[in-house]
Structures are given as structure tokens and as C-alpha cells.
Chain A
Amino acid sequence: MPKARLATVSLAGCFGCHMSLLDLDEALFELAELVEVDRSPLTDIRTMNDCDIGFIEGGCANEDNVHVARLFRKKCRLVCAVGACAVTGGIPALRNNIPLAELLATSYLQDVVDPGIPNDPELPMLLDKVYPIHEVIRVDHTLPGCPPSAQAIALFVKQLLAHEPVSLPYKELHYD
């Protein structure tokens, strides 16, 4: 059986979901039998081929995140939102009910040495709020958890490859 191509990316997340994937330890070898990793922070490959599965960790906080999410949608047959931030916006979304100007002023101008909001044109502009992935692109599957456990990720991948409905045992389904 040819290996499925898997791309992964971390947007407005903490890389915790990627860490969790690495927690598979020796089971990673088993996973490597099933998938070929394409663009991913794990491979450090920056270009992207057409893939079977795309894992997105984190929500969309800035312009660049939106472009990457759209690229994943274009290149991947199945796009999966992985982890609490991708699914709901998560911790970064705590900013969402605060207007941007107020938010940046509080972070960069008040009670700090050398106040000034970073404004390099190279920096991607922030969105008005942090969007969960399903509000930016259509998502095929979601895996909640902060992070989802290594076992949950492995099971999730296996179910996707077997075209089975995603279903997690009680102990593996959690939102924190």
C-alpha cells in the first residue's frame, strides 16, 4: 500500500500538539510505515506537495495564518483541525473580545520599558480576532484536546486512513 502524504503546520498554537505527536515515541516507527511526512515543522520542508492529509494546529491570528490555511485547503484532500486552538481558537482567542488597538496598547505601551508596538512591514498583520480553523476554511475532521494525546493522534490517523468515522474512546476525548 502506498504511503499517505501528511502535511502539518502550527499556526496560532504553541506546538504542543506537535510535541504530543512526538510523544508516540517508538510508535512513531509504526506511523512512519503508514505516512510520508511532507511540509511540516518536523521535516523542516517549506514547500508543499499535494497531500492526503493536512493537520493544522492553532487558529488563525494573522494574515499569514489565513494564507497558509487556504494553501492547506487547496493542497490537502482532508484538512484536519488538530488541538483545542485549531478547533475553538483556544488560549490565543482570549484576546478576541478586546479591540486590537486596546490589546496592543496594553501589551506594548503600558508599564513597559521602551514602549512601542512592533510595526515592521515584514510582520504579518493581525486579524481582528483569532479564528478557529473551521471559520476560515471548510474542515473535514477535528481532533480536540490541549493537546490531544499521542494515542488519540495515532488512532485519529488510523481512522482517517481506513476511511472510518472518527470516534475516540472516552478517555481520549477531552477539551483540555
Chain B
Amino acid sequence: MTAAQGKAADGKTIQTVVRTAMRRCGTGRDALLAVLIHVQRHMGHLPDEAIAAVATAMRLTHGEVAGVVSFYAFFHQEPFGLYDCRLADNIIERHAGNAAVQERLGTLLKGGLGTLSTTSCIGLSDQAPGALIDGAPIPSLKDDRLEQVVHLMEKEIPVARWPGSLSRVKPNVRRADRILQQQAWQGEALRQAMTQGAAAFLEELELSGLRGMGGAGFPTARKWHSVREAAVTERVVVCNADEGEPGTFKDRVLLQRHAAALFEGMTICGWCVGARHGFVYLRGEYRYLLPILQRKLAARRRAGLLGQGILGVQGFDFDIQIRLGAGAYVCGEESALLESLEGKRGVPRPRPPYPVEAGFQALPTVVNNVETLSAACLVAVHGGAWYAAVGTAASRGTKLFSVSGDCSRPGVYELPMGTPLQELLQLAGAHRTQAVQMGGASGALVAPHDFGEPIAFEALPPGGSVMIFDQSRSISGIVHNFACFFAHESCGFCTPCRVGTRLQRDLVHKFTLGHGDAADLSELKELGLLMGRASHCGLGQSAGRAVGDALQYFPEHFPIASPDAFVQLETALEQARALRQAGGHTP
């Protein structure tokens, strides 16, 4: 990276980099994000000159490009030195002691060696604390491993030459069932579906009861059916691989070890709805999975499973492109994801129209997550009745759970839908559990009296992230971490979320300091309801949920302070006191 940074000063070289990027990524507006990612990789950062060059080459205004650059956390306008170190700062990482990493690496990187920043969750909560260093995942960053990283950085050895053991991510699959036991499909599932015919397959899909596994739970068959019925010639399949909910990492395992099932599932979808284009929107944090996914796609093209005339069937054309995200949680919301896929700022669209009516470039689009598309293969092979035989009436099949936090066996668990949370806690080796955050930061904070409840769409949120907190943890500290997360990840479009998430963050902070009073407490409750009812998209609508649960189920963690603690006078006087002690304010 350092050698490349020298190019920043040289306008001609920037233009060469931009031209190469556009040759590789495309010249249309939808390629903007990919072009910027490419240019940043080759220049180390995105200086104004690079933004200007991209704008000129892609015929966009400077502001349009700058607006996109400033939306995504992974773009930086300043050089970051030798190492771009992004430390995961989700509550699980905090509990795992990421403060020590922050201190150790922060001291080391100060003075130009690199830049240490924090990001929420990077999909390594089962082996926390973790960091992305120049995009490479470095799990379990403590003790010897931390010292090893420090040693390598002191010697200024590029990450590419670090020992492979440092960036080896353990799959940590603790319990595998149908989804994780699938074979690496090479067209078998697709052939089965095709034998049935699209209409019959859709009936099987409906019978299976398969629902969107990202958490929203929309019936998959209905989505596919709408797109198939649309009176147009072009349709699109999009895989949402932007798993950004703090504490989730199941897609990491699916992508790393079961990509064949995903690609086959997407191809089945493409065949069923009549789409020729498929996209995988891969979160920027998982960039390290890109080479392996590209290799698998290439192999499938060679095997006639992607491209033109798939399985030798004339007119069955479908291919898959992978597009990288660049660090924006809101892009997990499907319409924001589509905006991002079009190279824009990831601002959720008004709905209606829904993506099935007008999705990617206004074409009818199926957006499903990794797990849903992988599970579609099971329906193709075994049929809907087989799939539906497991689970509850409203939530069929099995589900992957990413378990992290205070337990002895963190990792991925595949369990039937409807499994009581208590059972999962036992399997994971959780003791003295005080609370469990189900479904990520936007999910529910569950107290012990509800541990017996089943995990299903109709009960405890089955989104997949299961963060366990034992008796030693501060509940207000946990929800403060989430409140900070939402304030950081709000896209800024609508008033209640843009302003409300910051107000919520500051109010919860008051309670973590022991300064909140009774009025603050009712304010927090009101704020959560307001964001929930008035926000434009799911991010704002769920931003107050965990805080609300904490206030309801753990009131003792929010003690009421005396009114005098209202303004922290000493804090407010710090600047003046420092000036006074500096001796008379004289020049």
C-alpha cells in the first residue's frame, strides 16, 4: 500500500488507476462503489484528486461522488499509513477485552505507522476480540496473538506476508443439520427443480413454509411468485450477504464453506423467476471471502452451471456478480442495499413500490439472504413437505444461530425453528445467564423468565444473532453500546432516526454514569416509541427496541439519580479550569 500512496500526487497515474478500475468494474453509474473500492485499494485512500478523476471519468458531479464516499465508513479521504486497523467494538468484543487491544495497537500505530479505528461487528464475535487489518480478519486478538501482531507491525511487515495462522478464521460449527449438511451442489438441486417445472416448484416452495431468514420472515414463495408474474422481460436476483447485525456470523460460515448451496439456490431462483442477472451484495467486512467466492463462481461457469445455456438448456442464461459493500449497516435493509448496488448512498427507499415490483434499476427483484437461498436447494431436492416437517406451524425448517458472549462453546448452531432458547443456552454452555440479545442490536433483549420461549418468527426473534450476557455484565452498558451503534449507523435521511438515535445514545449514557433522573427515564421510553412509529425504515423503527426491553425487564439497572446530577458542573468547567491553571490566560 505504501508504494501506491505515492501515486496520489500524480494526476496522470490517478487517471490510469481510474481507467483500470472502470475496465474491471464497469462504466455505468451502478459501478461507482466498485470503482471507488478499486481506486482506494490501489491508492491507499481517496484524496480529492481521486474523487475528481472518478467524477470526470464516470460523468458524475464531484459532489455526487463525494456524497457516496462520505456515506460509507470504509472509504477514507486521508492516508492511513502502513496499516488500516479496524477493531471490532461491538459489546461482545468489549466484554472480550478489546480495550487492551485498542490501547496496545493505538500506542503502536500513533505517529503514522497506521490508523486504528473502531467498527461495530465484523462477524468474528465467536472468536473475539477481532480486527480487520488491511481487510484481513485477525480473530482472537489477545495474549500471544496480540503480541505477534505487535511484533510484525513494529517490523513494518505488510499484512500479506503475515503468517496465515493469524488470519485463519475457525468455522466453529457446533451443530450441523440440514442446511449445513448439504453437499456442494453441482446442479443436482437445480435439475430436480427443473424437472418439476417452475409452477410446481413454486408450489413446493410455498408448501415448505420457507420464510426470509434475515429476520423479516416474508414468505419466500410469495416473493418469487410476484417477480415471476411481473410483466417485464428483465428480472433480477439479489443475495443479501450484508450480514451486519452485531453478533452474527453464520453467513461467514455459509459463504466460506457452503457457497455452492448459495450459488445453486440463486440459480434455482433465477430459473424460477426468469432472471438473467444475479448479484451477491457482500459486506465490505467479508472482502477476504471474495477470492474464494470468485474461484467457485468461475468453476461453476466452466461446469456449465452459470452463464449461457445452463445445463445445456437453450435460453437458460443466468450469471452471478459479487458486489462489495463498504461499511454501512443500513445497507442490510433491502431497498438501501439496492441503492448501494446501484452505486448510490445507501438510503432506504420509500415503500411501496417494493423490490418485487421495482428493485434493482427499477426491475422486479428478488432479495433474499444467504441462508434463505441456500435452504431453497433443500426444497428442490427433498420437496416442500419434507422441509416443513420440522419447526413450528409458522416457522418451518431449521435455522442457523450465531452464538457469542458469555458461554463456553460460541459458534454456529443449526437447530429446528421453535427450539426453546434455554436449550440453545445449554448447548452453548452458558451459565448464570442474565440476559440474551436475540436478533442483533435491532432485536429483543430477553430476560430469564422468557428463556423457555421458542425461537421462531412468532416468538423470540430468529434473526440469528444470539448474544449471551452473564450476571457480571451491566445492562445499561450493553444497551448503550447498541444505542451508539444506531446513532452511528443511521443513514440520516429521516428526522426521528437521525436525531432520535443521538438523543437516545446520550440519554442512555447518562444512566451508565448514574446521572439519569425520572424524567430521563420516561423520555427514553417515549423516544423509543416515537422512533418505532415514525421512522422511515426498519433501522429507526427498531433502534429503541433493546433499550425499551432493558427498561422494562431490568429497571434496577437504571437507578434514578438526584436532580442535582443534571448538568455535570465539573465536566462543564474543565476547559475553564484548565485555562485558569495555565496561569492567567495571558498570551
Whether B573 lies near A127 (C-beta < 8 A) is: yes
A175 close to chain B: CB less than 8 A: no
Task: Name A residues whose Cβ lies closer than 8 Å to a Cβ of B.
Answer: 60, 63, 66, 70, 73, 99-101, 104, 108-109, 115-119, 125-129, 131, 135-138
Q: Is B103 an interface residue (CB 8 A)?
A: no
Known contacts A108-B585, A116-B586, A119-B585: does B566 contact A100 (CB below 8 Å)? Answer: no
On whether the beta carbons of A99 and B575 are closer than 8 Å, the reply is: yes
Q: In the complex, what residues of A have CB within 8 A of residue B577's CB?
A: 125
Instruction: Please name 25 pairs of A and B residues whose Cβ atoms are closer than 8 Å in the assembled complex, sorted by A.
Output: A63-B573, A66-B567, A66-B569, A66-B572, A73-B563, A99-B575, A101-B579, A116-B584, A117-B579, A117-B584, A117-B586, A118-B585, A119-B585, A125-B573, A126-B576, A127-B572, A128-B575, A129-B572, A131-B567, A131-B572, A135-B567, A137-B563, A137-B566, A138-B517, A138-B563
Decide yes or no whether B144 CB sits under 8 A from chain A.
Answer: no
Contact A116 B585 (CB under 8 A): yes
Query: Judging by beta carbons under 8 Å apart, are B587 and A109 in contact?
Result: yes
- What is the interface of chain B, defined by CB distance below 8 A to chain A? 517, 519, 563-564, 566-567, 569, 571-577, 579-580, 584-587
When chains A and B are docked, how far (Å) is the Cα of A137 from the Cα of B519? 11
Q: Is the interface of B mostly helix, strand, loop or mixed?
A: helix
A136 contact from B567, B573, B575, B576, Cβ within 8 A? B567
Contacts of B517 in A (CB 8 A): 138
CA distance A116 to B586 in the complex (A): 5
* Cβ contacts under 8 Å, A129 to chain B: 572
Can you name the residue of chain B whose Cβ is closest to the Cβ of A109?
B587
- B509 vs chain A, min Cβ distance (A): 14
A65, chain B: closest CB distance, angstroms: 11
* Chain B residues positioned under 8 Å from A116 (CB to CB): 584-587
For the complex formed, measure the closest distance between the CB of B469 and the CB atoms of chain A, giving whole angstroms: 32
Q: Which chain A residue shows the least CB distance to B585?
A: A117
The docked-state distance in angstroms from the alpha carbon of A119 to that of B587 is: 12
CA distance A60 to B526 in the complex (A): 27
The docked-state distance in angstroms from the alpha carbon of A174 to that of B449 is 52
Q: Are B574 and A128 in contact (CB under 8 A)?
A: yes
In contact, B564 and A70 (Cβ under 8 angstroms): yes
Contacts of B579 in A (CB 8 A): 100-101, 104, 117
Asked whether A115 and B572 contact (CB < 8 A) given A131-B567, A136-B567, the answer is no
Choose one: A70, A115, A135, A137; the contact of B587 (CB below 8 Å). Answer: A115
Bound CA span A126–B580, Å: 10
Chain A residue with minimal CB distance to B574? A128
**Residue of A at shortest CB range from B563?**
A138
Alpha-carbon gap, A108 to B577, bound state (A): 17
B585:A63 contact, CB within 8 angstroms: no
Contact, CB under 8 Å: B585 / A104? yes
Tell me, in angstroms, the Cα distance from A68 to B132 when the chains sit together: 51
- Chain B residues with Cβ below 8 Å from A126 are 575-576
Question: What A residues does B586 contact at CB under 8 A?
Answer: 115-117, 119
Shortest C-beta distance, A154 to chain B (Å), equals 29
Closest 8 A/B residue pairs (Cβ): A117-B585, A125-B576, A100-B575, A127-B572, A119-B584, A136-B567, A126-B576, A119-B585
Once the chains are docked, how many angstroms separate the CA of A125 from the CA of B574? Answer: 10
Q: How far is the CA of A116 from the CA of B584 in the complex (A)?
A: 8
- For A69, the closest partner residue in chain B by CB is B567
Known contacts A136-B566, A138-B563: does B587 contact A125 (CB below 8 Å)?
no
B567 to chain A, nearest CB (A): 5
CB distance from A38 to the nearest CB of B (A): 22
Complex interface: chain B residues within 8 A of A100 (CB): 575-576, 579
Besides the known contacts A127-B573, A131-B572, A138-B563, 4 further A-B residue pairs in the complex with CB atoms under 8 A apart: A108-B585, A115-B587, A128-B573, A138-B519
Across the interface, do B566 and A125 meet the contact criterion of CB distance under 8 Å? no
Write the nearest CB–CB distance from B520 to chain A, whole angstroms. Answer: 10
CB nearest neighbor in A for B571 = A128
Q: How far is the CB of B581 from chain A (nearest CB, A)?
A: 10
| B567 / chain A contacts, CB cutoff of 8 Å | 60, 66, 131, 135-136
Q: Which residues of A contact B574 (CB under 8 A)?
A: 128
Please report the C-alpha to C-alpha distance between residue A78 and residue B580 in the assembled complex, in whole angstroms. Answer: 36
CB-CB nearest in chain B for A103: B575
Distance between Cα atoms of A30 and B572 in the complex (Å): 42
For B564, list chain A residues within 8 Å (CB): 70
Alpha-carbon gap, A66 to B579, bound state (A): 20
Which A residues are in CB contact (< 8 Å) with B575? Answer: 99-101, 126, 128
A63 is contacted by which of B569, B584, B587 (Cβ under 8 Å)? B569
Quick one: closest A residue to B583, CB to CB?
A: A119
Q: How far is the CB of B550 from chain A (nearest CB, A)?
A: 24
In the assembled complex, the CB of A89 is this many whole angstroms from the nearest CB of chain B, namely: 13
The distance from the CB of B573 to the nearest CB of chain A, in whole angstroms, is: 5
The interface residues of chain A lying within 8 Å CB-to-CB of B580 are 119, 125
Tell me the minimal C-beta distance from A131 to chain B in angstroms. 6
Q: How distant is A140 from chain B, measured CB to nearest CB, in Å?
A: 11
When C-beta atoms are compared, the residue in chain B nearest to A63 turns out to be: B573
Q: Which residue of A lies closest to B579 (CB)?
A: A101
Nearest CB in chain B to that of A121: its residue: B580
Residues of A within 8 A of B519 (CB): 138
Closest to B584 in A: A119
A101: chain B residues within 8 A (beta carbon): 575, 579
Residues of B within 8 A of A66 (CB): 567, 569, 572
A84 to chain B, nearest CB (A): 20
Contacts of B576 in A (CB 8 A): 63, 100, 125-128
In the bound complex, what is the Cα–Cα distance between A128 and B567 (angstroms)? Answer: 11
Q: How distant is A150 from chain B, measured CB to nearest CB, in Å?
A: 31
In the complex, chain A residues whose CB is within 8 Å of the CB of B572: 66, 127-129, 131
Min CB distance A100 to B, Å, is: 4
B329 to chain A, nearest CB (A): 28
Nearest CB of A to B564, in Å: 7
Inside 8 A of B563's CB, which chain A residues have their CB? Answer: 73, 137-138
Task: Report Cα–Cα, A125/B573, bound state, in Å.
Answer: 7
Name the residue on B nearest A99 (C-beta). Answer: B575
Evaluate whether A138 and B587 lie within 8 angstroms (CB atoms) in the complex, with A127-B573, A128-B572 already known.
Answer: no
**Closest CB in chain B relative to A124 CB, distance in Å:** 9
